[in-house]
A = this chain, B = another copy of it.
Amino acid sequence: METIPYSGDMGGWGGPVRWEASADGVCERPVSRAATIKDVARRAEVGVATVSRVLSGSGPVSPATRERVLRAVRELEYRPSALGRSLKTQRTGSIGLVVGEITDPFCAELAAGVLACARTLGEHVLLDAAHDDPAREAEIVDRLVEQRVDGIIAIPTGHGDRWRAAMRAGVAVVFADRAPAELPEIPSVLADDAAGVRSAVEYLAGLGHRRIGFLGTTAPGAAPGTDAGVREATFRTALAERGLAPEEDLVVRARPSRDSAFAAAAGLLQRRPDLTAVLAATHLLGEAAVLVARELDLRIPADVSIVMVDDVPWAELCDPPLTAVARPGRDMGYRACEVLLRDPARRERGRPVVLPTELVIRGSCGPRTGMPGGAARSARTR
């Protein structure tokens, strides 16, 4: 048993204390380390098992003993170490959350949902951002596995290997928002993007628009089944169903950065002054479309109608307010967490949970005008 230097004038405190020289090396002062279950047991004059029983509420303890233990706990400000417990129980009570970029409103919304659910279930959340970089994602997953998280919720960007490795290591995984086709065995919680895009196209077509531009994203892995793929594919299908030939020239893709989005929007709007509506597949693309339209002196919706996927707070503040396909980010996060933590059955089957989207109609779309202002537009070159 270790011996602990004991200070007489501490009134028999009995807590863990050690003496350490302070930085200046002159005056010494007591530095307390966190109390352990042993310290509590010693002070309450009971065994460590009893302390554990009292604290976890398992097993029988006499009221008198319980009181003694609780008093010791209070006096020592004892906080059981999750480390010891986790090592023993093989459960850490924490989950990993891997998003693209936490400052992205959708990711943040999803994170909020995860946080809310995790809280009700008493779990901690380890957050990290992969920035759409598969290598970084792989590294994050590795580290999360080392931390022995009980599970991982991710908006995946990379390929299958690392995720399979995680599952082999015994870590449950649930995807949110995206579900790589190569990993059908991993359960996922998605928004019904297809329905969302379809509703947007139908809305625009119903307004009389015939030449609709599409601002999409280059799928990182270019894997079919990726959200970008779904949105673009649905756009084409929906158009075709209406008997509108999907002109290749009207579909442009950008990388997920503001610059790239802006360039894509500028390219589209300048190259095709004849289009009367734009469907932006992400809020970044929607933002770019609005900015570019403004730059080109295009009036919204008189000259060009705009719809975007993802309803973010600024959609309401925009002038005119932007029509958008709302996706339930928070619900998706909450649901993903539920699937991960309390729905092993569903996890087993791996069929995706699909949550509905909603077309929120505001003021950014109008009927196709006879004169789309092509002359004025082509005259200006940003």
Q: Which residues of A contact B (CB under 8 A)?
A: 23, 32-34, 77, 79-84, 86-87, 92, 94, 97, 101-103, 105, 108-109, 111-112, 115, 119, 124-129, 142-143, 145-148, 165, 168-170, 287, 290-291, 294, 313-314, 316-319, 348
Contact = CB atoms under 8 A, between A and B. Distances in A.
Contact of A168 (B32, B125, B291, B314): B32
A164 to B, nearest CB: 11
A145 B79 contact: yes
A125 B313 CA distance: 27
Contact of A87 (B84, B115, B291): B84
Given A32-B168, A81-B146, A83-B92, 4 more contacts: A34-B170, A83-B148, A287-B317, A317-B317
Q: Specify how many copies of this chain sit in the oligomer.
A: 2
Contacts of A317: 287, 290-291, 314, 317-318
B127 A111 contact: yes
Q: Lowest 10 A-B CB distances belong to which pairs?
A: A314-B314, A319-B319, A127-B127, A103-B108, A83-B87, A82-B147, A82-B146, A108-B108, A103-B112, A79-B146
Nearest to A78: B169
A126 B126 contact: yes
Nearest to A314: B314
A83 B93 CA distance: 12
A317 to B, nearest CB: 5
11 contacts: A32-B168, A34-B169, A77-B165, A81-B146, A81-B148, A83-B87, A94-B147, A101-B112, A102-B108, A108-B108, A115-B127
Contacts of A291: 316-317
Contacts of A103: 105, 108-109, 111-112
A169 B79 contact: yes
Contacts of A94: 126, 147
Max count, chain B CB within 10 A of own CB: residue among A23, A97, A108: A108
Nearest to A258: B313
Contacts of A32: 168, 170
A365 B102 CA distance: 31
A335 B269 CA distance: 41
Nearest to A83: B87
A355 B32 CA distance: 34
Contact of A124 (B83, B112, B143, B168): B143
A288 to B, nearest CB: 10
A112 B84 CA distance: 31
Contacts of A143: 124
B124 A125 contact: no
A318 B320 CA distance: 9
B125 A126 contact: yes
A219 B16 CA distance: 39
Contacts of A119: 128
Contact of A102 (B112, B124, B147, B313): B112
